[in-house]
Structures are given as C-alpha cells and as structure tokens.
Amino acid sequence: MLDIEFTPSNVAVLKPRGALSAADFTRLSEAIDQQTATAGAAPSLVIDAGQLPHWDSLDALGKHLRFVQDHHRLVRKVAVAGDNLALKTLPHVADLFIDAKIRRFPHAKLGDAIEWAGAEGDHPGGFDLIAGLPDDVIGLDVHGIITSQDYRDMLVPLVEERLKAHGKLKALAVLGPGFISYSEGAALDDLRLGFSHWNDFTRAAIVTDITWLRTATRLFAPLMKCEVKVFDMAGLDEAKAWISA
C-alpha cells in the first residue's frame, strides 16, 4: 500500500506500507497528474522509506518503471528519507537515468527532506568556514539552500564550541552568487539561534550584493545588541578587517 500526501509547497510525500501493487502506482500516477494540473507544475517527491519498499509482483515493478518513465522529466526533485545501506548509493545511480535532482536524507531528517524538496533551486546548500580569521570570529561562506539540518549539524555546535573557548564571539557571513535561499525551517532556526545567543556576539558583518538581504539586515540592525555592518561583495576584505579588529 502507498500513502500519498501533498504539502502546501507542492511536495508529494509518499509512504510505502508493505508490498507495493500495480494499483498503487496507477493511483500514484493519477494523483501526481491531478496535482500537476491543479498547481501548474509537477510536485517534487519525498519518499518516506523507513522500510525499504518492494513490489508484490512483476506487474507492480512494470507499473513503477512506467511511472518513472512518464514523470522523471517533469518532477524537479526527489528526496528519499531512509537509513538502508542500499539507499546511500541511490542518488548516484539514479542520476544516470533520470532528470530529477535526487538527494538522500537519514530517516530522522524527514522534515528536512520535505523542506529541501519544496524549496526553490536544487543545490542542497551549506556553510563553509572562512579561513584566516581570529578564532573568536565565526566566518561563514553561505551557499545553496540552507535547511534546518545545516543549522543543527554544523552551525549550532560550532557556536557552542567557540563560546566555551572565548565567551564572546563575532560573526561574518558571506552570501555571494552561490547563495539561493533559506528554507522555512532554517529561517526559524536562525531566529532561535539569534535569541538564544542574544548577548554572546559583539559584532556581525554581512557581505552580500543581494538587495533584499542588505535591506533586511539594515532594517533589523538597530534591534540587535551587537554592532552590525553590511558590506557589498567587493568590500569583503574590508569586512574581514573590521570583524577582526
């Protein structure tokens, strides 16, 4: 059996339960086609693979392959949330045969998989540490689509570790052409991180040419307890010097 649920961000969350039948794939194809007509675009897919799916017959396998053949050029993204070892190689193998962007998530990160599938753009995103800065400065090159997973797995532990060593910190964030967006969950995590460390940062520098980010930073800067400055990308060296002082 296959449970199908659509999110407001045009993501179809698929949860296989037991063996999958030919009728399951017929119903899936009809549901995806109807959602495509309603939303004006094919939904991205998230497969909740807590257990590795399997077919109940060769007919079911054939219907599955037909579904992939008919829809892989329409669907932008496919996220698989599961821990089975076989799933770890799935994105690399599937990339050879289908057009959709595929990414695997641990099953515990199902929410992040749904966020990624519903976000604009295809890059999974992340934070890269900027070298050559004092240890009390957290310098980040922000790229792609940032999700809650990026905050939980990298940024939050990094802030906690640096605070133990220094007590007070400074932050430098560079959002260049490679930055796409924050998912809704990541935006909430950004607020939580800011409020939980309200008194722990003395300076923050934002380096970007993206108009809405520059405007938003200047709008909220007077509300921050730390000193905040905005630099354009050409002023990156100036930003590094200011944040290091």
Rounded-to-integer distance, Cα 232 and Cα 214, Å:
9
pLDDT band with cut points at 50, 70 and 90 for residue 135: very high
Rounded-to-integer distance, Cα 171 and Cα 196, Å:
15
The per-residue pLDDT for 93 is 47
The per-residue pLDDT for 96 is 43
pLDDT in tens, 156-177: 899 999 999 998 999 999 999 8
CATH code of the region 2-118:
3.30.750
What is the DSSP pairing of strand 201-208 with strand 19-20?
unpaired
Domain pair 2-118 / 126-244, same fold: no
User: Would the pTM of this model clear 0.95, i.e. be above it?
Assistant: no
- In terms of pLDDT, which residue wins out, 189 or 213? 213
Task: Please check the confidence at residue 53 and state whether its pLDDT lies above 90.
Answer: no
- In terms of pLDDT, which residue wins out, 4 or 52? 4
| CATH fold group of domain 126-244 | Rossmann fold (3.40.50)
pLDDT in tens, 76-90: 888 888 887 666 555
The mean pLDDT of 22-37, rounded to a whole number, is 94
Task: Please check the confidence at residue 118 and state whether its pLDDT lies above 70.
Answer: yes
Extents of the domains making up the chain: 2-118, 126-244
The per-residue pLDDT for 4 is 95
